[in-house]
Each structure stands twice: as C-alpha cells, then as structure tokens.
Amino acid sequence: MPRIDAHAHILPPDYRAQLERRDLMSFPLPRWSAELLDGLMARHAIDAAVISLSPPGVFFGDQGLADELARLVNERTAEHVRGAPDRFAGLAVLPLPDVERALAELRYALDDLGLDGVTLLSNVAGTYLGDPAWDPLFDELDRRGAYVFLHPTAAPGPPPLPEHPIWLYEFPFDTTRAVANLIYSGTLERCPRIRLQVSHLGGTAPFLAHRLASLEAREPERATRAPAGALAYLRRLYYDTGLSNHDLPVRPTVELAGPERIVFGTDWPYADLPPEGDPAPGLDGLGPDLRARIDAANAAALVPRLAAALDLAAA
C-alpha cells in the first residue's frame, strides 16, 4: 500500500549552525540529516514525503536575517527534492512579516527553484495568518492555487503555565487561533483556490467546530466576512495526522471534513513512532479503505506530482 508523509521536516545543518551561532535556539531542535530521513522512510514503508522547515522558522526580529535564512532553507530544500524528485516534494519558507520580501521569495521559490508550495507558521512575531497586512500574500497564493501548509509555533508572550512545554498543547491552540482568524478575517472566503493543509488534525479546530461556528449566531457583526459559515470553511481544509495518528482524533475530523480531506503525516523528526513497520498502527480501526485514502490517495490533491509517481489518482 503506498504511503505519502505530508508532514515531515527539513532542518538543514547550516540553518541550525546559523541559529546556534546567534544564540537563537529557543527550544532544542532534534537531529536531522538526509540519511536519517531516508532511514525513517525505509523503516516505515513511506514511499514519498513532503518536507518543510519546522519552528522556530526564520524571523527573530531581524528582517535581513529572515531573508538570509529563508533563502538558505529554500535552496537546501530544493536541492533535496532535486536529488529524488519522485520521492520528495518541498515547501518554501517565506521571510514574513515583510510582505514584499515574502512575495519576492515566493516567486523565487516556486518559479525558479520549482518548489511545490509554501509553509506558513500560525503567527510571526504576533501577527496571525488572516491579518489584513498579509492580504497581498494570500491573494497571490490564491491566484496561483497554491499548496499551503499551516504549522503552529509559539504564541506571542510567555505561556500561562511555563512548566509545561509549548508543544504539549500551546501549539495546537495556536493552530486553532490561526484557523479562526483565517475564517473570520474573510481570508478563506476571498481565497478559495488555496489548497490549505493544517497540521496535527487542525489543532483543536475540528473539536471546537460548532463553538467556532456559534459566533455567527451569538455576535453576528463579527462574522460578516465569513458568509458561508465556519463549518463550510473548515470543510475546505486538509488535515494531516502528524502527532495525531490515532483513530480517536481522526474520526471526528472525518465526520467534519469528509474522508477525502485527511492526509497522513508523521511530523518527523519530532514524531513518536514505532521502531519499524506501520508508522500509525493507531489508525487500523478506521478500516482498510479509509486507511488507504489517508495514507496516500488523498494527498494527490495537494502534491499531484508525487501522486503521479506512485500511480495515484486524486480521491
């Protein structure tokens, strides 16, 4: 059975070296190398993977450094994809919050490097996806019908319970903030052609779907830019199973968005995976047909190039 990992990360050694040299390692980054990624795929029968930069991203308060890091990571990502184009797709990182520089890097990454889409963090320096300042970027992504991957990062300000690591629940909460802002800013209404994949099964958005939708009834003046209703926009998204490879969270997401909107992901090298074999045995209860769609077929809508290499048709 083919398997596409739609949520794997790249952490180039020279990116890590830049962060270490400038004392910008806000949390420890796991070991990464091309050989380790190949080993993961071999151990778990993963035929292809979509690779993207993980948090902390490229912006640390210095726009020039953000430009430099984004270019470095995008060129390393493109090199990795060119080495095995039937096995890898690559997503570009953009040097937000400067929109003009982000647009310039988007053109370079997609048109010159040939990358397959972009990854966007839930917020950059406290500006969330859906902020009007970033409308020109989303308009260009919509014009291109781009594949966009939304990944969480740390929320601005100190965490309320600093004794808990931010990945434990703050990351999923920040995904939910970004999704809600994309809905109620009108961005998803205005940009229907973007193919938006949300990591970790959407954070908590599927489980809060009706609560998110209740804004229209309770405070309708705040919901005027989302005329289709929050549930409709949530059903347009794609949800990956990274760090959520269990049928307990997958089932309600399938109920919300439909079986064609869930794609497999590991979130490697952050993933907690079995030593070998099936990387997601917790999904077995979904049944073989749905499991096959999640493992590979659904990803054809996001990365048709990889799907074609595996002889998959869009679900």
Q: What is the pLDDT of residue 11?
A: 97
Length of the chain in residues, anyone? 315
Q: What is the mean pLDDT of the chain?
A: 96
Domain assignments of the chain as residue spans, ordered by start? 4-309
- Omega of the bond prior to 97 within 30 degrees of 0, cis? yes
Q: What is the pLDDT of residue 313?
A: 53
Cα separation of 110 and 103, whole Å?
11
Convert the pLDDT of each residue in 245-299 to its tens digit: 999 999 999 999 999 999 999 999 999 899 999 999 999 999 999 999 999 999 9
CA-angle at 7, arms to 5 and 12, nearest 5°: 110
Average pLDDT over residues 144-164: 95
Higher pLDDT, 311 or 242: 242
Cα separation of 182 and 104, whole Å?
23
Q: What is the pLDDT of residue 28?
A: 82
Convert the pLDDT of each residue in 76-131 to its tens digit: 999 999 999 999 999 999 999 999 999 999 999 999 999 999 999 999 999 999 99
Average pLDDT over residues 46-50: 97
Place of tokens 């590991």: 266
Q: What is the pLDDT of residue 27?
A: 76
Indicate the pLDDT class of residue 314, thresholds 50, 70 and 90.
Answer: very low
Average pLDDT over residues 8-15: 97
Average pLDDT over residues 69-77: 98
CATH of 4-309, one of 3.40.309.10, 3.20.20.140, 3.30.365.10, 2.130.10.10: 3.20.20.140
CB-CB neighbours of 22 under 10 Å: 11
